[in-house]
Chain A
Amino acid sequence: MFKGMVGSWTLVGIFLLVGMLVLGAFFGEMLGGNVLALMGAGLAVVLGGIGSIVGVGVAGEKAAGITAEEPENFGRVLPLQALPGTQGIYGFLVAFLALIKMNAFGGVLSLTLEQGWQVFFACLPAGLSGLISALYQAKVSLAGMDIVAQKPEESGKGMILSAMVETYAVLGLLTSILLIMFAVKI
């Protein structure tokens, strides 16, 4: 299960998550609610970010290869490369919302432990679904580039196939947004 690009990076993400959880569980009292909430916000960015970095990276390599063969296909492979990039932005978005919710730009933070955990878990849906969906979306994008290479005029189909995976990142994002805005009581 944890083999290949998707598996190994998922594993990295899970290690990060478990590490943070363990840290929070054992040292929560010491760290306090603020730190837990910030860990959650950071995790959303980092998990989504890993997915998008790896995804856009591998997709970019192949896109460059195809552009080298047929420079006029650049415009077709570019959106395919960009598609796995949205998850990183979703993670960033969730983190920013969490910071706004915590009033991080307004003054002194003072969250209780419980509030900290609430923010932490509210950030997870976007982060985790972003990580895994970006990796798989990148794989679909790579395959979509084969469509571009062989039948450039059909490249729109590759985009749609790739977007199917993103649905779940969008749902994760939506859940995190709703959780932070309405479920987290600060």
Chain B
Amino acid sequence: MLRSTPMKHVRLLVLTEDLPQASLALADLESFHPDPRPPQESRLVDAPGQAYREAYTQAHTRLEKIRKLIPITPRRGTEQVRVVELPELEALNAWLGVIWNEASEFEEELHRLDEQERLVREQQAALANFAHLNIDLGLLRNKTRFLNFYVGLVPRENLRQLEGAVSLADHILHVYMQEGEQAHVVIVGPTETKQGELSAVLEAAGFQNLPIPRELDRAPADLQHDLAVQRQEIERARAELQKRIAQWGTPLLARLRDARQTLILTEPLVTLDPSIRSAGHLAHLAGWVPARSVIRLRVRLEKALRHPFEMRVRRPSAAERPLVPTVPEKHWLLAPFALLVKQYGVPEYGEVDPTPLFAVTFVLMFGSMFGDFGQGAVIVFAAWQWRHKLGRFWPFGLLAGFSSMFFGILYGSFFGEEHLIPALWMNPLSDPLLMLRLAFGWGVLFLSLACLLAIYNRMAIGNWSGAIFGHHGVLNLVFYLALITGGLNVVQADGASGDATGMAAFGTMPLYLLSGSLAGLAWASWRKQQAPVGEKILVVFIETLETLIGYVSNTLSFLRVAAFSLNHVALSIAIFTLAGMMGTFGHILTIILGNLFVIVLEGGIVAIQVMRLQYYEGFSRYFSGNGHEFAPLRLRRDPK
């Protein structure tokens, strides 16, 4: 359960014409993780799927763009898996090209309507503004005998430069309104002088003509009404266009659905494409397959391929380990814990998957720190009640709640009331020292286990030197256990006689082991350094000291397990003390609110603290998290 799913490297040699069948078979099996490394044979250099991929990419893009105009719902029922050959894909792409050409005209029409609407809006705003201009606006509509008028919009950013440019063409520019990114301007100049010149400038500046409405002498309300009617007409035109689009699209729907399905069937080969190399008619593809699926893969390929093929299967070499994907934990109960582990990293192939261990230790620590039967039941109820919203995460709440209930029975705690149910074991506050001793012991066990896993992980990949001399390796573990044993000897001797002190109390064997392991660590560190002697001495001294301090502080870090169990009881006492000062209603209310406060706040803090212990004291010792997840080639069964 702790070990990665064994994987095999599979190398396939198939005829290029069989590639679509091979890709479909591999996708159908959902057990082939492509290996994009080029083959060792230097002749296998061509990329046979390039034309296929290009046709797919363009067809897919076109279909997606068409879908914005015609919503294509997925077809109901199971689709038959079939091979899509390049000519079929190219024909589909060409057809989609034709359809997209038609669709893009509709799209342009929609854009034009948007643009018209924007201009009418600007006109409405301008008209409101014209009321403040003290000139005859009717004159702005046409050329006069001597003057030329341009009324329109220009991006504000271009305004200053345009002002200079029009003055060079003997015109003047007046800004009568600025709104958003646009400025409303009137440009006036003499007729028949440099008109062509001005037009070029206006085009370069993005000038948009705003036609002055006729009959400006009418009441502004009438004009506004006309503009409102124009907007309604645009809206009608838009609705009409949508109807035309729907009419145009309806007969195409069935074929577009087919196109979608065809493209889904081509996806496996397109996904595989970067991993395929070929020479002539021979194509090479490689990937990682779970060992248990290799036989099924061979059988499936034998059935699917029309021509002979070669399939070589081997174990991954030590050097390839970082490339081998790790099959993720799928058990529903462990799924939320796997998610939390993934926040730290994916186990490297061969490395112990910490998920089960993480789940067990997390649940145990959470329960021991937050032991209350009633509050645990609330957590269980909440997790069950909101299981749909919590998704895969709800078993996390369920297990944490059950653990809390279990420890609540041991502690005899029910919604903070310590006397309502008899403690199966004892109330934490009745013997805090025992709780602290137990937490200390748990810390020693946890850290030793973490070291053992670190040693195993290194041995699994043949890193013997790392397993013995590396961080949290054998020497570290020996040192740590010797330190703990010696420390316990000192404490016991102190308790027994009171006069046995120092080295004698520590014990000869622990002392030898401690000195020996420290010397070994110092030696390994010395050998690793590439520096002058003085610097080496300094680094070795600091590293050795860090090992000593690190292990002591890491062990003491576990005292928080006891501290929180005590804290939980203390908080409950505080709540009941407060409640005791109130009347009946206040008493009940304080107990309810207090319990809610404890569940939300303390529950959250305990979860964070346990996570911290797992990540920093556990994972950092034995879990690299440098792996990558198994992502097999698969068919999109449920299209979006």
Bound pair (A, B): no
